[in-house]
Amino acid sequence: QSAIEGLEQDIASAILNAGDEAGLEEIRISALGKKGSVSDLLKSLGAMSPDERKVMGPAINGLRDRVQGLLSHRKAALKTAALEARLATETVDVTLPVREAAAETGRVHPIAQVMEELTAIFADMGFSVAEGPDIEDDFHNFTALNFPPGHPAREMHDTFFLPPGADGQRKVLRTHTSPVQVRTMQAKKPPIRVICPGRTYRCDSDQTHTPMFHQVEGLVIDKGAHLGHLKWILEEFCKSFFEVEGVKMRFRPSFFPFTEPSMEVDIQCDRSRPGEIRFGEGNDWLEILGCGMVHPNVLRNCGLDPDEYQGFAWGMGIDRIAMLKYGMSDLRAFFEADVRWLSHYG
């Protein structure tokens, strides 16, 4: 009898001191498991005399019942304590005031800032802004612009193709904003002075080219528009955008299907200091845009008579220019919507 009472004391104190459910489970196994202390006593009943069993039976079964009761109460208490501990740490007090930083107002994305700045500069020179669809058809994105069939730019490695539209036409994500000028020439009689900012898409993305990027193109169509006008417009743009009075520019011969002659334009800069670039000084050159006289085929494709009208156009990638202006190294940062980055540049 006293052995049973001693065992019960030991098991009871072990149960009450169990710190968690895992510890409690070990105590249960050591008492009630196959080789448990209480299980051994229950097995010993088989070898007792009937008289002895009459006394020891109820005593040992009582011990097992009381141990099971203690275990289940302790288990419930430990579960409740664990839940309360979690609730205490995970409780969110929604009545707390918003953190200062989170309450900041929104920012204009650097690309949007540059778009607005470019648009304003050209608006001051008498240009209006023309916009058009991002999803274009083959004609407006390639054929009207004098891209011959089979031209590599039409291939999948450069261009995102979409399932054909309801009209059965091949649809593409526009690879430049030039289709907008095409649509403008189809819709408006000259003189035309438009700039076409917007998103453009190319397949061949890598660490310095993202699949979506931004361009601003310009178009002037008039009876006597010539390269002298183009040169002046681009100089005025560079002076305003790069904020330098005497900016030196270099016009290099180039080729584009939609312009003839075609040129690429560099501006003078100084990149001698690492990670820094200055415009209007130095002996280095930075390519900023391409331009040229609109090819006669393009004028014809857009319903204009090349013997009556002529014009010039240019195109520039905005993302690169914005990176230069803001001194950023990684183009991808533009598209990660990292609030810290945006608030720094915004």
Ligand X SMILES: Cc1ccc(OCc2nc(C(=O)N[C@H]3CCS(=O)(=O)C3)cs2)cc1
- Comparison of 74 and 140: residue with beta carbon closer to ligand X: 140
The answer to whether 310 contacts ligand X (rule: CB under 6 A) is no
Q: Does residue 217 touch ligand X according to CB under 6 A?
A: yes
- Please state the closest distance from residue 166 (CB atom) to ligand X, in A: 26
Alpha-carbon distance of 319 to 317, in angstroms, equals: 6
**Under the criterion CB under 6 A, does residue 181 sit at the interface with ligand X?**
yes
Instruction: Count CA within 13 A, CB hemisphere, residue 40.
Output: 8
Residues with Cβ within 8 Å of 248's Cβ and at least 6 positions away in sequence, in order, are 267, 268, 280
Which pair of structure tokens corresponds to residue 325?
């202006």
Q: Would you count residue 115 as binding ligand X (CB under 6 A)?
A: no
Q: Would you count residue 290 as binding ligand X (CB under 6 A)?
A: yes
The residue among 200 and 268 lying less far from ligand X, judged by its C-beta, is 200
Closer by beta carbon to ligand X, 30 or else 143: 143
Residue 186 and residue 8: Cα distance in Å, rounded?
A: 98
Closest distance to ligand X from the beta carbon of 103 (Å): 38
- In three-state secondary structure terms, 307 is coil
Q: Does 279 bind ligand X (CB under 6 A)?
A: no
* Binding residue (CB under 6 A) for ligand X from 289, 304, 321, 322: 289
Outline where the chain has alpha helix (H): 2-17, 21-32, 37-44, 50-90, 110-123, 138-141, 178-187, 227-241, 296-301, 318-326, 339-345
Measured from the CB atom, is 237 or 258 closer to ligand X?
258
Backbone angles phi and psi of 289, in degrees to 5 = -165, 170
**In this chain, which of 7, 41, 70, 219 binds ligand X, going by CB under 6 A?**
219
| Smaller CB separation from ligand X, 74 or 214 | 214
Distance CA 220, CA 237 (A): 15
Q: Beta-carbon neighbour count of residue 122 at 10 Å?
A: 21
Query: Which part of the chain contacts ligand X (CB under 6 A), choosing from 28-36, 53-61, 285-293, 328-336?
Result: 285-293
How many Å apart are CA 167 and CA 169, to the nearest integer? 5
Which of 110/292 has CB closer to ligand X? Answer: 292
Tokens matching residue 171: 């649809």
Please say which residue, 43 or 252, places its beta carbon nearer to ligand X. Answer: 252
How remote is the C-alpha of 223 from its chain's centroid? 45
309 binds ligand X (CB under 6 A): no
Q: Which residue is nearest to ligand X (CB)?
A: 290
Interacting residue with ligand X among 159, 215, 268, 310 (CB under 6 A) = 215
Q: Which span (59-67, 82-90, 147-155, 178-186) binds ligand X, by CB under 6 A? A: 178-186
Q: Near ligand X by CB under 6 A, which window of 50-58, 79-87, 173-181, 235-243?
A: 173-181
| Identified binder of ligand X from the candidate list 110, 132, 198, 315, rule CB under 6 A | 315
Nearer to ligand X, 24 or 219 (CB): 219
CA distance 200 to 180: 12
The answer to whether 252 and 290 have CB atoms below 8 angstroms apart is no
18 touching ligand X, by CB under 6 A: no
Query: Which whole-number Å values give the CA distances from 91 to 95, 99, 306, in the listed order?
Result: 12, 17, 74
Closer CB to ligand X, 39 or 254, in the complex: 254
Q: Is 253 exposed, middle or buried (0-12, 13-18, 19+ CB in 10 A)?
A: exposed
Residue 221 within binding range of ligand X, rule CB under 6 A: no
- CA dihedral (116, 119, 124, 128) positive or negative: negative
Chain contacts with ligand X (rule: CB under 6 A): 176, 178, 181-182, 215, 217, 219, 256, 258-259, 289-292, 294, 298, 313-317
